Structure 1
Amino acid sequence: MPVRNVENFTDAVLCLASASPRRRELLASIGVTTTVMPANIDETPKAGEAPDAYVVRLAHAKALAVAPHTELPVLGSDTAVVVDDTILGKPCDEAEACAMLTRLSGRRHRVVTGVAVSGPEGVLSCCVSTWVSMRAIGHDEMRAYWATGEPADKAGGYAIQGLAAVFIDHIEGSHSAVVGLPLYETAALLARQGVALWHR
């Protein structure tokens, strides 16, 4: 069951099944006004589940959990940081955050984002992969980064749009997907569900 509405705007054209302020900001950047109704679902990966299948499954589950509670189209999304075919979740403490950054330091990893939009056309979905290369990160830097508070609620223990931008060497693919929502692909799904962009 979804939790109560966080915010409810009468001019909203889309319901966002996520409490992520980053996803809401990304949608606002393309003129999509949202009401927020986070979905409360089990996000535990299944045994042997591929990262791409995992994020799409969660995106679908979020959209479908909220859809019965609103007349608006609903967008669900999930992002995972993947290294050596292992999904890195959100770190629970400094030690885990540093362990994650140690695995990512000085190498390339993949960020996968699944998006699902429920609406008149049923549930439409996509999955976008982006390769991210990080420079080598010293342990003292990792600890200082944790102390900022930024990594605590971020998949993989970092935020590309935040203070961790200084760790990023380059990316191959969608920057917005790493932040939390691939805008090019999302706009296409929204158009198929009749959601107008640049809404005023």
Structure 2
Amino acid sequence: MREGTTLILASSSPRRRELLQGLGLAFTVMTSDVDETTSPELTPAEVVEQLALRKAGAVAKKVSDGIVLGSDTIVVLDGQILGKPADEADAFRMLASLQGREHTVFSGVALVDAATGRTEVAHNATKVQVRSMTEQEIKAYIATGEPMDKAGSYAIQGIGATIVEGIVGDYFTVVGLPLHLTAQLLSRFGMSIL
């Protein structure tokens, strides 16, 4: 890797920022306003990889140097992608459909070298079991405001932890940035954590 290469996080997510800070890496933040529409023919894994790469690529075009990190997370239930809720009614619909069931969270990670165009893309998937909830509990959770900007309408790292019975896989994939996968990809660009 070139001397003094900067790491750039292509995300406004405070969760991703905190997770990356936890790795002890210096980085800057540049948000990418990209169209997140994808083809319905894509698998969930392809969706998160494509969107992560789209976000990283958009920021990489704005700078002349640096490694740009993009990430995307989706919740999948019965083959249907649950994005961020449009409103409280949409959040209620999502949470009602998830309760008492298992779903899968996919997080994609992409790195783009702004100087060379080299890319690395991968994803993780984690199964999440949500407990059964009453209508009142769902409404009370929505009233906290936490579900409104979260894929699937919940945040495992917040109050939403109280509705999650268990996971099979990587916790950080559910939060939105799989750290071991991110570290692996960064090491391919000469940015080692350990």
TM-score normalized by structure 1? 0.90
Q: Choose from 145, 156, 159 the match for 1:160.
A: 156
Partner of 1:143 in structure 2? 139
Alignment equivalent of 1:184, drawn from 174, 180, 185:
180
Give the 4+ runs in structure 1 shifted more than 4 A.
none
- 1:164 alignment partner, SS class: helix
Gaps of 5+ in 1: 1-10
The yes-or-no answer on 1:82 pairing with 2:76 is: yes
Task: Map 1:1-200 to 2 at 5 A.
Answer: 13-70=6-63, 71-119=65-113, 122-197=118-193
Give unpaired runs (5+ residues) of structure 2.
none
Pairwise CA RMSD of aligned residues?
1.5
Q: CA contact under 8 A between 1:12 and 1:33: conserved in structure 2?
A: no
Deviation digits for residues 7-26 of structure 1, max 9, x if unmatched? xxxx9841011101101110
1:77 aligns to what SS in structure 2? strand
Supply the AA of the counterpart residue of 2:87: D
* Distance in 2 (alpha carbons) for counterparts of 1:118 and 1:174: 24
**Residue-by-residue CA offset, 1:123-149 (whole Å, 9 max, x unaligned):** 001110000001101111111111111
Residue pair 2:107, 2:178 contacting (<8 A) in 1 also: yes
Give the C-alpha shift of residue 68 in structure 1.
2.5
Identity of aligned residues (%): 48
State the Cα distance separating 1:33 from its structure 2 match: 1.9
Q: How many residues align?
A: 188
- 1:46-83 Cα offsets, whole Å, 9 max, x none, are 12221111110011111111112231100011000000
